[in-house]
């Protein structure tokens, strides 16, 4: 026997690159272009004064953060779970709830991590094709399954489903756990958190990485019935009790107080997106209507990979996926107005 025969082989997810290039315009990983709230800076200063707190383990139940979230969302703590980014949260949900011999349903064009986790967790999956216009048809989710996961708005398309459609999926699947991944919800979609007390099989996940300008902090959360949350916590405590570090817990709790700045940043991103889509149109791009902080564009004449390369040469990074059906598209994050102006100046040369 050799260890190579019993190693667990997986195909990992490939995150968007984070290269060190001077003056790079980074529109490839949907980070927020604006700085975190000033509350974060104040809290970091307080933490420096109280650095001895790092000698001890953090609270395993993430008390401060879960209490702050409980107050912010008006939900009891028993209905909240937190983790190291929503990637950690969703992976733990998959390990907890997707344990059947029936396939878990998700779209063929969606967050590609779902497929990676499915393989890792070892449950069967069925990739449900999105329609020609890249939309999710909820009628495709009316079949026997071992669970469902839907990103709303979907990534990388940016298309959102209205709340009634999410509710239809829930009504039709009372015996399955349905995960709604709301990583981009704050940029213009309706949240399904309002439905968790009506459907005890629903779990909604959100993150600090996009709309709260704190991808570097790694904070994600899930909201669901107390029964589902208890199940996922049991799994978490079977893997690692101390998933979240003390500084992250403190900063993430404090930043919830600055609602004004959060709304301002989301509004600015939405405004820049609305201006950007008009610019994309003028240059001959088409795209599904975006409810997120990115636009998924394709050009009638110039190939997406060629545009990707030409932009990269000019120090502008966007995301291209070499995946069937969408390999002629680019996912472009919404940056500041100045970054987008630089993007359009470059695109004008490239697609002219």
Ligand X SMILES: *Cc1c(COP(=O)(O)O)cnc(C)c1O
Residues of this chain that interact with ligand X (CB under 6 A) are 85-87, 111, 151, 155, 181, 183, 207, 209, 215, 220
C-beta of residue 82 within 8 angstroms of C-beta of residue 75: no
Task: Pick the closer one to ligand X by CB: 43 or 87.
Answer: 87
**Least distance to ligand X from the beta carbon of 88, Å?**
7
Positive or negative, the Cα torsion across 259, 264, 267, 269? negative
Nearest of 112, 185, 156, 153 to residue 296 by alpha carbon: 156
Alpha helices in 104-147 (DSSP H): 113-121
Q: How far is CA 150 from the centre of its chain?
A: 11
**Least distance to ligand X from the beta carbon of 302, Å?**
26
Q: Which residue has the tokens 């990103």?
A: 151
Task: Pick the closer one to ligand X by CB: 201 or 207.
Answer: 207
Q: 23: cis peptide before it, omega within 30°?
A: no
What's the CA gap between 227 and 97, in Å, rounded? 12
Q: 8: cis peptide before it, omega within 30°?
A: no
**Least distance to ligand X from the beta carbon of 103, Å?**
20
Q: Is 47 helix (H, G, I), strand (E, B) or coil?
A: helix
What's the CA gap between 160 and 118, in Å, rounded? 23
Q: Which two tokens stand for residue 212?
A: 């709260």
Q: Which two tokens stand for residue 43?
A: 């809290």
Neighbouring CB atoms inside 10 A of 15's CB total: 10
Task: Pick the closer one to ligand X by CB: 210 or 250.
Answer: 210
Task: Pick the closer one to ligand X by CB: 177 or 350.
Answer: 177
Nearest of 349, 279, 274, 281 to residue 314 by alpha carbon: 349
Task: Pick the closer one to ligand X by CB: 85 or 188.
Answer: 85
**Least distance to ligand X from the beta carbon of 110, Å?**
7
**Least distance to ligand X from the beta carbon of 6, Å?**
30
Task: Pick the closer one to ligand X by CB: 68 or 342.
Answer: 68
Task: Pick the closer one to ligand X by CB: 165 or 319.
Answer: 319
**Which position's Cβ is nearest ligand X?**
85
Q: Which strands make up the sheet holding 202-207, listed edge to edge? A: 80-83, 220-224, 202-207, 178-181, 148-151, 104-107, 125-128
Task: Pick the closer one to ligand X by CB: 152 or 302.
Answer: 152
Task: Pick the closer one to ligand X by CB: 154 or 302.
Answer: 154
**Least distance to ligand X from the beta carbon of 156, Å?**
8
**Least distance to ligand X from the beta carbon of 321, Å?**
13
**Least distance to ligand X from the beta carbon of 86, Å?**
4
3-state secondary structure 162-177: CHHHHHHHHHHCCCCC
Neighbouring CB atoms inside 10 A of 235's CB total: 14
**Least distance to ligand X from the beta carbon of 174, Å?**
25
Neighbouring CB atoms inside 10 A of 264's CB total: 13
């Amino acid at each position: 026997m050799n260890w190579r025969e019993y190693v667990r082989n997986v195909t990992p997810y490939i995150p968007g690159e984070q290269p060190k290039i001077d003056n790079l315009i980074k529109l490839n990983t949907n980070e927020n272009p604006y700085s975190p709230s000033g509350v974060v800076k104040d809290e970091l200063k307080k933490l420096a004064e109280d650095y001895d707190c790092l000698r001890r383990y953090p609270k395993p139940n993430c008390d401060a953060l879960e209490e702050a979230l409980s107050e912010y969302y008006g939900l009891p703590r028993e209905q909240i779970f937190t983790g190291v980014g929503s990637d950690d949260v969703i992976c733990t949900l998959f390990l907890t709830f997707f344990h059947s011999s029936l396939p878990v349903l998700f779209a063929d064009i969606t967050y590609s991590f779902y497929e990676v986790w499915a393989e890792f967790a070892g449950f069967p999956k069925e990739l449900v094709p999105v329609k020609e216009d890249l939309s999710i048809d909820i009628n495709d989710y009316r079949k026997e399954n071992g669970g469902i996961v839907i990103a709303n708005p979907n990534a990388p398309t940016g298309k959102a489903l209205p709340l009634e459609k999410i509710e239809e999926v829930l009504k039709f699947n009372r015996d399955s756990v349905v995960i709604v991944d709301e990583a981009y919800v704050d940029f213009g979609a309706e949240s399904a958190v309002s439905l968790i007390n009506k459907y005890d099989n629903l779990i909604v996940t959100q993150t600090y990485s996009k709309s709260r300008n704190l991808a570097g902090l790694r904070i994600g959360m899930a909201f669901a019935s107390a029964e589902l949350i208890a199940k996922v916590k049991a799994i978490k405590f079977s893997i690692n009790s101390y998933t979240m570090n003390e500084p992250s817990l403190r900063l993430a709790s404090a930043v919830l107080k600055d609602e004004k700045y959060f709304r301002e940043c989301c509004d600015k991103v939405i405004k820049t997106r609305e201006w950007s889509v008009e610019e994309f149109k003028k240059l001959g791009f088409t795209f599904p209507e975006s409810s997120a902080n990115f636009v998924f564009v394709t050009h009638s004449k110039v190939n997406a990979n060629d545009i990707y390369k030409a932009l990269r040469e000019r120090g502008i990074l966007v995301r291209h996926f070499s995946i069937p059906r969408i390999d002629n598209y680019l996912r472009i994050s919404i940056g500041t107005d100045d970054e987008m102006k630089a993007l359009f100046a470059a695109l004008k040369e490239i697609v002219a």
